[in-house]
Structure 1
Amino acid sequence: MAGDAAQRVAVIGAGPRGSSVLERLAANWRARRDAGELSGARLELHLVDPYPPGSGHVWQPGQSRLFLMNTQSFFPTLIPEDPDLAPPVAGGTFNQWREAAVAGDQSHLGDGERAELAALAVDAFPSRAIYGRYLEDTVAAVVHRIATDPLLEGLTVHLHRTEAVAVRRREGTGFEVELRDGTLPADRVVLALGHVPALLNPEQRELHGAARELGLSYFPPACPADVDWAHVPEAEPVLIRGMGLNFFDVMGQLTEGRGGRFDTDDGGGLRYVPSGREPVIHAASRRGGPYHAKARIGSYYARTRRLRYLTETAVARFRRYGVQPGFGHDLQPLLQRDVLWAYYETLVLQDPNAVRDAAEFLDALAELLRPHAHAPEDWLGPVNALLEQRVPAALRLNLRALAAPFSGQRFGSPQELDDAVLATLDTDVRRSSAGESDPVKAAVLALHAGRSLLKDAVADGGITDESWVTELRGRFESLVEGLASGPPALRIEQLAALARAGVVRFLGPEPRFGVDRAEGLFRAASPWVDGGEVRARTMIEALAPANRVSAAASPLLRQLLEDGLVRTRLMMRPEGGPTETSGLDVAPHPYRAVAANGVVQEDLHVLSLQLSATQWGVAIAAEAFTEEGGERRELFRSGQRTLRDADEIARAVLDAL
């Protein structure tokens, strides 16, 4: 039971994850007080972050509105909707906030925020800035409720707008948190650090050093909102490495952000009207092109079909029998079945003449896809034989070729490459517009849904170390990201318009970057494109800083590692021997840091991207429940996992009072 002194909890990081701990502490405190518990208890919650609570670093409301979220308005939430958790004390989902903001008092909103909200539909992609305003408003509502609700008496919140640079053990119990401007004693610490700066890799260090030596401009990996894009020169070539999600942020700043605009042409497509202030963008990625666009379906998951093979029941069966599955041997084959079925069923529905004897084909395919109908190691052989008999080669699904469409192709000129990339962009936009009725997008939607279920299946040692290192993170992750984690279709449409306008050119697959010291320029070329070398005074890494704790440039993480309060998690490779993973070593649940000596620290919790060696896909925001049959429900428990993790930490804190 509580004594006279208040317990102090320091939450380091006040972005969405740290704010979730605040919200869950308040919710559980109120629920326990309402049940007659915590009488006389006192708890001080200290949120430490140089950025505002709620938005934190990434979601600041003042950033450019050209930076879009990668999920639609109906998707994200800071407030859990799980009936098994303590009821929230304030706030709701982003979409509920959006609807209330449109209908209610907007006096605290800026002109740009009011304009965006007026035009923002439930299935549109909000700016990161407007989501940041939601986060700040929601946290403010929770803090206000804590200060005014009698059932929250004894719980106080203190905001520290500064950086924590060290956490050290006190003699006895608890910690001393060293801030930029003082110290903060704490009985318990929660690390909710989110995105942190990262050290450059050897190649990046070499390019950065050469740029300083030769007077060139090198932009290392960074949060796009942190970069002053005015330093990128106009009307000259600029090299951009990476064509994932950060690329589209850079693209927007260097085009629309400089006064260009997109108009609708006579055919209903987009046409780019330059301002004359754009650079000539030479875009490069290993694939040779960008991520694939999301299907335009008005929902996060496909509405017309559910997974048939990789199901919660199938995953639970492994746990029930005490089997730790291998990803490649056990889980991926189930998802592969779902992807194949989604593609070929949709193909037949859209064009029964696309395959020979369509009805018989689907019956035969369903039988061959049935798990355990034959030896697991050869299940794909009979499937491929059926496809060869019934489906024309041009219509057969090949995910790897879809993810890397230019692999092994040689291009006789840069223009030949540009034409090929543009053709894939146009095809991708057309498929996205067709949504679930397009066979390729149907297959990708199955892949996307399977990824969400896999997040729970593989977490907390759900698969073997070898599977995690080589199969999940080593091979599958890059495939699913390129196909199922792409931007809104509008971004691909805009990229195609920019390519037609000559503002964007493409370098080709497997590009190589370096420096020509004699000419004092960066150079880049693809070995697959003849005559395609480009030289420029400016190079941009369109990548987020590496999410790897051993490479973190955060003073706090460096100190914690050096002092042994935390350690990186090691996993075993298939060939034997340990390898260092990207995240911290933690003991579930709630996640508690494991010290260098192997001791689990009950009073040091981890909740953030630094869980990447225990959870897969930790960067994705919490998912609001979906509307289905007039009821709100979640399709996959991974959707609100971060909020449940925060709830577990909150309950552990209160249990210790």
Structure 2
Amino acid sequence: MPSTVPAIVFIGGGPRAAGILERLAANRPALFDGPLRIHVVEPHEPGSGRIWRHDQNPGLLLNSTAADVTMFTDGSVACDGPAVDGPGLATWAAGVLDGSIRDVPRLEPHLLAQLHALTPASFPSRQLQSKYLEWFFRRAVAALGPGASVTVHRDTATAVERSGTSGSGTSAEGPDGGRHRVRLASGAALDADVVVYALGHTDSRPDTESERMAAFAAHHGGFHAPPSYTTDVDYSAIAPGQDVIVAGMGLAFVDLLVLLFEGRGGRFEEGPDGGLEYLPSGAEPRLWAGSRRGVPYHSKISSTLRGYAAGTPRYFTAAAMESLLAQHDELDFRTQLWPLIAKDAGYAFYRELFTGYPERVLGTWADFAARFDAVDWYSSGRDELVAAAVPDPAFRLDLEALDQPLSGCAFSSHAAVQKSVAAYVEHDLALRTDPDHSETLALFTALLKVYMELGRLVPQERLNSRSQRAVHGWWHGFFSFVDSGPPPHRLRELLALHRAGLVQFLGPGMWVRADETTGSFVAGSFQSPVVVDAAAYIEARLPAPSVERSANPALAELHASGRGTEQRLLTSDGAHSTGKLLVSGEHEVLSPLGAPQAGLFAVGPWTSGWGAGAFARPNTNAAPFRENDALARRILGGLSATLRVPAALTRKA
């Protein structure tokens, strides 16, 4: 290839990078069908990357079913580039088995067994997902066609410098001017016209409080695990029978249960009464678990809709957002957007109740819907309408109670906490797995649709600072709590571990402190008298985003160089940093003054964008696929418009 061929460097080669590569391939013929050099810098296997790599405990699962995972930008995606249909995870697995998908390396026996047992409703292992993602990466590379080369560097990027010259030493400039040199840990360097930071979930250096806890544990011979990706932590120092305080009851907590119980040789068996029993190996510790809510994430749902599906959002719509944007310079999430989101959730919930379970309501859906349209979600009119139409309060939607299920509860004893949390989990499982409670599925689907639409309909820069904090904080947390929980059987296992005495609940409003007098960690709840001390403390959650404290050398260097910065928001109570890398609506890296950095782009959960994931459900107009397409087109269009490349190089190879 000529030395003047434009170059793109991806820092990170996980599923998000693979998705952008696929969009580059799909859009290249129309936008830049000349020679192109692409480098992917990824220390793990490209496609799966660090989070989805094969090298992790085989018991760790996706929290999505096989039918709900695809990497393909199908015809539902509202984007300017061409759709490319392809198999989601479930169809891919069937194709591997029947031989219609051939370009897959030989699978280990346990993965072949998983393929044979897999159904669309199965929750696949992350190891199996890694094989799908790696296959997709290879397919995306092949789709780029002749004239494009992709080189994978199993290395780590450490810095990106402005070089000012092309790889051949000429003054050819990239989009908006300038070239970059990407430094690697091995000592090598890559010249690029465009650099895309696509790092997925990254670690951060511990904050002040976690550092203090780590120092305390080291000084007193204890154990402390700061927020981190669960499978990367070495828990071997935790002894059998040891008490361990665990803060956090989300997905990281569920992974922790797998590693410390089944991962240490225990197993679950169905009891004669249909209940699940845990048979310990004797190597297990005893966990004391709590969190802000004091309960685990809601499980995924196995029921199906019985009534009429609600369709697209009815209130949180493009027309409604255009009207608000025309009337207001800035929008407020809590007062202007959330009431519409809540009303859409309520509409879907009650539509399923009326059309699927008419015996639980009074009147007709048509009459209820007409009156529901006319009232605000937060109004006495809505309260009166629901109270008159839904006699049993158990079938009325209370989003605040859903968000904070134990709010206001004052527990008198340790036993009261255990009884209440266990009963909550059992009731939640019934709502999410019983076919007679499909209104929970309607609610789940309504929230998912709005979550995917929010970034498309509302420009982030038009939200006031308080609202941007709310979106990145409360809204994302609430959505994750309700819609992004574990497979149902994981909560059955949690209850079995609780009955076996190996998991105890601390309750909501959890606090933890280091007691210098005893040399132990002490934990409790603001809503109960339960207090426990232990030598081991695990913060079971992913690190909060922090570019300034990033453990990734490329991100840390981007911040230290002054070319990138954390997003900072000014609110009535002062300035706040979200910890996320500030990017434009087109994923350009922005300086502290808000100036786009030529040729530098960034995507992922650690950026100030809306935070779409790397893969999604098929046929849902998924946000990550829209973003991937827009970014790929921006890169190709920029190369075509501003690179001074001879015409002979831009004709079809």
Which of the five TM-score ranges fits, normalised by the shorter chain?
Answer: 0.7 to 0.9
Query: Residue in 1 aligned with 2:649?
Result: none
Query: Residue in 2 aligned with 1:310?
Result: 315
For the structure 1 residues 404 and 460, does the alpha-carbon distance in structure 2 shift closer, same or farther, using more than 3 Å as the test?
closer
Query: Residue in 2 aligned with 1:170?
Result: 163
Give the Cα–Cα distance (whole angstroms) in 1 for the partners of residues 524 and 504 of structure 2.
12
Deviations 1:496-521 (A, max 9, x none): 11111211110111111112223222
For the structure 1 residues 244 and 512, does the alpha-carbon distance in structure 2 shift closer, same or farther, using more than 3 Å as the test?
same
- 3-state secondary structure, aligned to 1:185: strand
For the structure 1 residues 28 and 639, does the alpha-carbon distance in structure 2 shift closer, same or farther, using more than 3 Å as the test?
closer
For the structure 1 residues 272 and 153, does the alpha-carbon distance in structure 2 shift closer, same or farther, using more than 3 Å as the test?
same
Query: Residue in 2 aligned with 1:369?
Result: 372
Deviations 1:323-353 (A, max 9, x none): 5643223322222222223334444556555
Matching of residue 582 in structure 1 with residue 579 in structure 2: yes
Query: Residue in 1 aligned with 2:556?
Result: 558
Matching of residue 540 in structure 1 with residue 538 in structure 2: yes
User: Does the CA-based 8 Å contact 1:91-1:141 persist in structure 2?
Assistant: no
Matching of residue 458 in structure 1 with residue 454 in structure 2: no
User: Does the CA-based 8 Å contact 2:567-2:582 persist in structure 1?
Assistant: yes
2:616 counterpart letter in structure 1: E
- 3-state secondary structure, aligned to 2:293: coil
Q: Equivalent of 1:596, from 583, 592, 599?
A: 592
2:363 counterpart letter in structure 1: A
Query: Residue in 2 aligned with 1:201?
Result: 207
For the structure 1 residues 31 and 102, does the alpha-carbon distance in structure 2 shift closer, same or farther, using more than 3 Å as the test?
farther
Query: Residue in 2 aligned with 1:98?
Result: 93
User: Does the CA-based 8 Å contact 1:369-1:379 persist in structure 2?
Assistant: no
1:263 counterpart letter in structure 2: E
Give the Cα–Cα distance (whole angstroms) in 2 for the partners of residues 311 and 4 of structure 1.
51
User: Does the CA-based 8 Å contact 1:69-1:126 persist in structure 2?
Assistant: yes
1:524 counterpart letter in structure 2: A
Give the Cα–Cα distance (whole angstroms) in 1 for the partners of residues 85 and 150 of structure 2.
15
For the structure 1 residues 328 and 436, does the alpha-carbon distance in structure 2 shift closer, same or farther, using more than 3 Å as the test?
farther
Query: Residue in 2 aligned with 1:631?
Result: none
Query: Residue in 2 aligned with 1:529?
Result: 528
Q: Equivalent of 1:359, from 357, 363, 375?
A: 363
Matching of residue 46 in structure 1 with residue 5 in structure 2: no
- 3-state secondary structure, aligned to 2:409: coil
Give the Cα–Cα distance (whole angstroms) in 2 for the partners of residues 11 and 4 of structure 1.
19
Give the Cα–Cα distance (whole angstroms) in 1 for the partners of residues 12 and 238 of structure 2.
31
Which structure has more relative contact order (CA 8 Å, sep 6+)? It is 2
Alignment of 1:5-20 (within 5 A): 5-20=4-19
Query: Residue in 2 aligned with 1:55?
Result: 48
Deviations 1:220-259 (A, max 9, x none): 1111221233332211211111001111000111111112
User: Does the CA-based 8 Å contact 2:69-2:89 persist in structure 1?
Assistant: yes
Deviations 1:510-543 (A, max 9, x none): 111112223222111113222x211212111110
State TM-score, norm by structure 2: 0.87
Give the Cα–Cα distance (whole angstroms) in 1 for the partners of residues 559 and 344 of structure 2.
42
Alignment of 1:197-346 (within 5 A): 197-297=203-303, 304-307=309-312, 309-315=314-320, 317-318=322-323, 321=326, 325-346=331-352
- 3-state secondary structure, aligned to 2:412: coil
Query: Residue in 1 aligned with 2:568?
Result: 570
For the structure 1 residues 273 and 310, does the alpha-carbon distance in structure 2 shift closer, same or farther, using more than 3 Å as the test?
farther
User: Does the CA-based 8 Å contact 1:567-1:594 persist in structure 2?
Assistant: yes
User: Does the CA-based 8 Å contact 2:73-2:84 persist in structure 1?
Assistant: no
| Cα distance, 1:556 vs structure 2 | 1.6
User: Does the CA-based 8 Å contact 1:607-1:646 persist in structure 2?
Assistant: no
For the structure 1 residues 517 and 481, does the alpha-carbon distance in structure 2 shift closer, same or farther, using more than 3 Å as the test?
same
Q: Equivalent of 2:152, from 155, 159, 166?
A: 159
- 3-state secondary structure, aligned to 1:523: strand
Number of residue equivalences:
622
Q: Equivalent of 1:110, from 108, 114, 118?
A: 108
Give the Cα–Cα distance (whole angstroms) in 1 for the partners of residues 307 and 204 of structure 2.
36
User: Does the CA-based 8 Å contact 1:20-1:646 persist in structure 2?
Assistant: no
Query: Residue in 1 aligned with 2:515?
Result: 516
2:315 counterpart letter in structure 1: L
Query: Residue in 1 aligned with 2:398?
Result: 398
- 3-state secondary structure, aligned to 1:74: helix
- 3-state secondary structure, aligned to 1:486: coil
1:98 counterpart letter in structure 2: A
Alignment of 1:399-478 (within 5 A): 399-434=399-434, 437-461=437-461, 463-469=463-469, 471-478=470-477
Query: Residue in 1 aligned with 2:175?
Result: none
Give the Cα–Cα distance (whole angstroms) in 2 for the partners of residues 98 and 392 of structure 1.
44
For the structure 1 residues 558 and 365, does the alpha-carbon distance in structure 2 shift closer, same or farther, using more than 3 Å as the test?
same
Query: Residue in 2 aligned with 1:644?
Result: 629
Query: Residue in 2 aligned with 1:630?
Result: none
1:402 counterpart letter in structure 2: L
| Cα distance, 1:49 vs structure 2 | 1.5
Give the Cα–Cα distance (whole angstroms) in 1 for the partners of residues 266 and 407 of structure 2.
33
State TM-score, norm by structure 1: 0.87
Give the Cα–Cα distance (whole angstroms) in 1 for the partners of residues 368 and 624 of structure 2.
31
- 3-state secondary structure, aligned to 1:231: coil
Percent identity of equivalent pairs: 30
Deviations 1:106-148 (A, max 9, x none): 76111221111111111211111111111112223343555xx
Give the Cα–Cα distance (whole angstroms) in 1 for the partners of residues 474 and 405 of structure 2.
17
Query: Residue in 2 aligned with 1:149?
Result: none
Query: Residue in 2 aligned with 1:136?
Result: 134
For the structure 1 residues 111 and 87, does the alpha-carbon distance in structure 2 shift closer, same or farther, using more than 3 Å as the test?
farther
Give the Cα–Cα distance (whole angstroms) in 2 for the partners of residues 443 and 5 of structure 1.
54
Query: Residue in 2 aligned with 1:629?
Result: none
Give the Cα–Cα distance (whole angstroms) in 1 for the partners of residues 296 and 452 of structure 2.
22
Matching of residue 74 in structure 1 with residue 78 in structure 2: no
Give the Cα–Cα distance (whole angstroms) in 2 for the partners of residues 407 and 15 of structure 1.
39
Unpaired runs of 5+ residues, structure 2, are 166-177, 644-653
Give the Cα–Cα distance (whole angstroms) in 1 for the partners of residues 283 and 396 of structure 2.
44
